[in-house]
């Protein structure tokens, strides 16, 4: 059975959130194209390869062992441009590793709303991820600002 473009796009956000929530690098397999562009307000620079993405996942899971993404509503599809947008709620507690580097665990919780926009290829892998959320709100909730 062949999966349509709209199905591939619609399913991507749930696969992505499941990988984050699963806290296992093997859960990220198949999510990202070999080369991609990933921007996130928490990153100092764009990620462009799997090694960088794996580091971001691992750093996030180490700093926030209970980090969780919950989808809000249904994804919005832009088939003409192979894009899908998904609104989410991200929660967690800073009980693990330093975040950012030099900032020890605060023990504080966060609850932030955001949206990711994914550009997805024929194999269901992201060639681009653009994360949009208020990093200042996250920093305030963690006691960093």
- In order of start, what are the domains of the chain with their CATH numbers? 5-141 (3.10.450.50)
Give the mean pLDDT per block of 10 residues along the chain (145 residues). Answer: 84 97 90 95 94 95 97 97 98 92 91 98 95 96 91
DSSP secondary structure, 51-81, as one string:
HHHHHHHHHHHHH-TT-EEEEEEEEEEEGGG
The whole-number pLDDT of residue 2 equals: 62
The whole-number pLDDT of residue 29 equals: 80
The whole-number pLDDT of residue 27 equals: 83
CA separation for the pair 64, 21 (Å, rounded): 11
Q: How far is CA 96 from the centre of its chain?
A: 19
Tally of residues, the chain: 145
Model's pTM, two decimal places? Answer: 0.93
Closest CA to 69 of 29, 131, 112, 31: 112
């Amino acid at each position: 059975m062949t999966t349509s473009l709209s199905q591939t796009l619609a399913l991507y956000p749930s696969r992505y959130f499941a990988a984050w929530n699963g806290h296992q690098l093997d859960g990220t397999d198949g999510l990202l194209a070999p080369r991609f562009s990933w921007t996130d307000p928490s990153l100092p620079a764009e990620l462009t390869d799997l090694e960088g993405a794996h580091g971001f996942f691992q750093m996030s899971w180490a700093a926030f062992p209970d980090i969780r993404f919950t989808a809000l509503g249904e994804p919005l599809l832009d088939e003409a441009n192979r894009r899908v947008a998904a609104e989410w709620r991200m929660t967690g507690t800073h009980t693990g590793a330093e975040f950012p580097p030099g900032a020890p665990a605060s023990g504080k919780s966060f609850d932030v709303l955001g949206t990711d926009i994914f550009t997805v290829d024929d194999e269901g892998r992201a060639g681009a991820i653009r994360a949009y959320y208020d990093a200042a709100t996250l920093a305030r909730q963690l006691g960093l600002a």
